[in-house]
Amino acid sequence: MGKIIPPLRGVHDILPGHAAAWQHLERVVREVFAGYGYEEFRVPVIEQTQLFKRSIGDFTDIVEKEMFSFVDQGEDHITLRPEATAGIVRAVISNGLLRENRLRLWCMGPMFRRERPQAGRFRQFHQIDAEAFGFAGPDIDAEMILLSARLLRRLGLGRLKLLVNSLGTPASRAVYREQLTAYFGAHAAALDEDSKRRLIGNPLRILDSKNPDMQRIVAGAPRLLESLDAESKAHFEMLCAHLKGEGIEYHVEPHLVRGLDYYTRTVFEWTTDALGSQSTVCAGGRYDGLVEQLGGVATPGIGWAMGQERIVMLLEAQGLAAERDRPQVYLVLVGERAQVPGLHLAELLRDAWPDLKLQSNLGGGSFKTQFKRADKSGAQFAIVLGDDEVTRGVAAIKDLRRDVAQEACPMDRISERLGTLLGLKPGNAE
């Protein structure tokens, strides 16, 4: 026997037993985005490495240590996308979509970060991602947050908290940066290695440190909100007014910054106390300078990303995960003579009822074995075809969940009878 090849560290299989929860989440996502007029955009999983270096920023966890980057056989420098925004911005520029001026987009798919694997933190994970381009005012910031709130609400999730902050403009941030440099400089001896490096490179990043010792120092740091420029202040106040108007509870968190450098003005996060330390389920903000930074015409942008694994974990923990999908009917086929008419019957039934979920017993087996499989499948009904039924031109319909007599039904009446029993909707003939 060959040696078993294990999966890569931090990379997970989503087993069939969990598929229903994922599909439910993805269904709700499609509905909610459609309800706000957002269009799906599918972008590549691989991009040029420089795209992420230039957009995400040098002094970030992602660029410093988390990217899966390689040089391919043709000497191209390639990175597996660690997040979706950079690729989407690249794509709206390279496809000329910004000529349409205003875009509302969403995308969903795997992201890759080489971080230390732990509960809720993986090396391949999935995000739902929303992005909008061409909207400068706070109304889109509000819409983005309302959309995420509706999505979480429609999933039934509780115990979530919305944190908001404003990072101002690059100019007001430059002033703030000086204040932070002075503050953290005075605490230099107590800073960890990452923070020391960031003190010189980008002191704002220290605010996002996960180290509890750093968080204690951060608590006393100056706050950008207090020295915000007038326009950013008005923008933030308007956003808050929208949220209040919609009854969305929020908490202003003056030290909230995002893990990436490109944010301006609004930043926000949805957090939960139900997942231990990996508490952020959705995070986003405005990035007005990013399109220009990546070579496009200056265009304001805003977006958020939601971690699908963390949402599925919450759904499962709160008993909200959708039930595993089960067949409605299990076709029991015993004996040589039942095989051909049996599979034919199954195809006819699927022609008649496109929504019907029917699983055929394949590979033979006694009545006893096949009924065991029928029961395990979760189906409500079994259709039974054996030599005897074939001779008589009937099939038996048996309710597997209720104690009612099995009925013998003429072959040409089975479809109709099943339709009635299951309340099926007929389809157009194919």
C-alpha pair distances (Å), 80 with each of 71, 111, 183, 305, 402: 12, 7, 37, 17, 52
The span of 33-41, 117-125, 189-197, 214-222 binding ligand ATP (CB under 6 A) equals: 117-125
Helix (H, G, I), strand (E, B) or coil at 147: helix
**Closest-CA residue to 332 (of 310, 361, 352, 304):** 361
What are the Cα distances from residue 328, in Å, to 20, 331, 403, 424?
16, 10, 17, 11
The CA distance from 416 to 408, in Å, is 13
Between residues 56 and 414, which has the closer beta carbon with respect to ligand ATP? 56
In the stretch 344-373, what mask flags binding to ligand ATP with x, by CB under 6 A?
------------------------------
Q: Are strands 251-252 and 160-166 parallel, antiparallel or unpaired?
A: parallel
Residue 276: closest CA among 320, 330, 317: 317
Kindly identify the residues of this chain, within the stretch 239-258, that bind ligand ATP according to CB under 6 A.
258
Coil, helix or strand at residue 319: coil
268 or 353: whose CB is closer to ligand ATP?
268
Q: Please identify which residue in 109, 259, 341, 365 interacts with ligand ATP, judged by CB under 6 A.
A: 259
Q: Which of 323, 324, 316, 360 is nearest to 16 (CA)?
A: 324
Q: Does 138 bind ligand ATP (CB under 6 A)?
A: no
Q: Which is nearer to ligand ATP, 257 or 333 (CB)?
A: 257
Q: Is 29 in the site for ligand ATP (CB under 6 A)?
A: no
Q: Between residues 84 and 334, which has the closer beta carbon with respect to ligand ATP?
A: 84
Question: Would you give the distance in Å from CA 134 to the centre of its chain?
Answer: 24
Site string for ligand ATP, 307-346 (x = CB under 6 A): x-xx------------------------------------
For ligand ATP, the closer CB: 195 or 415: 195
User: In angstroms, what is the minimal distance from the CB of 356 to ligand ATP?
Assistant: 37
Helix/strand/coil for 287 = coil
Number of residues interacting with ligand ATP: please give it, by CB under 6 A: 18
Phi/psi at 14 (5° precision): -95, 105
Is 388 near ligand ATP (CB under 6 A)? no
**Looking at 102-110, 121-129, 188-196, 221-229, which segment touches ligand ATP (CB under 6 A)?**
121-129
127 near ligand ATP, judged by CB under 6 A: yes
Is-contact 419 352, C-beta < 8 A? Answer: yes
- For position 281 contacting ligand ATP by CB under 6 A, the verdict is yes
For ligand ATP, the closer of residues 258 and 286 by Cβ is 258
Q: What values do phi and psi take at 397, rounded to 5?
A: -110, 125
- For the CB of residue 235, give the shortest distance to ligand ATP in the complex, in Å: 21
Taking CB under 6 A as the criterion, the residue among 52, 122, 330, 381 binding ligand ATP is: 122
- The residue (of 305 and 358) whose beta carbon lies closer to ligand ATP is 305
Which of 130, 149, 228, 283 is close enough to bind ligand ATP by CB under 6 A? Answer: 283
Interaction of residue 280 with ligand ATP, rule CB under 6 A: yes
The one segment of 33-41, 118-126, 194-202, 220-228 that binds ligand ATP by CB under 6 A: 118-126
Compute the chain's Rg from CA coordinates.
Answer: 28
Single residue of 291, 302, 305, 314 touching ligand ATP by CB under 6 A? 305
Which range in 45-53, 281-289, 336-344, 397-405 contacts ligand ATP by CB under 6 A?
A: 281-289
Question: Does residue 108 bind ligand ATP (CB under 6 A)?
Answer: no
For residue 262, how many C-alpha atoms fall within 13 Å in the half-sphere facing its CB? 29
Q: C-beta of 150: minimal distance to ligand ATP in Å?
A: 18
Distance CA 146, CA 152 (A): 10
- Strands of 19-176, DSSP E: 39-40, 46-48, 69-71, 77-80, 103-112, 124-133, 160-166
Read off the tokens for 283: 């995070």
Tell me whether strands 301-307 and 358-360 are parallel, antiparallel or unpaired.
Answer: unpaired
Q: Looking at the DSSP assignment, which residues form a beta bridge with residue 124?
A: 112
- List residues near ligand ATP by CB under 6 A: 83, 113, 115, 120-122, 125, 127, 258-259, 280-283, 305, 307, 309-310
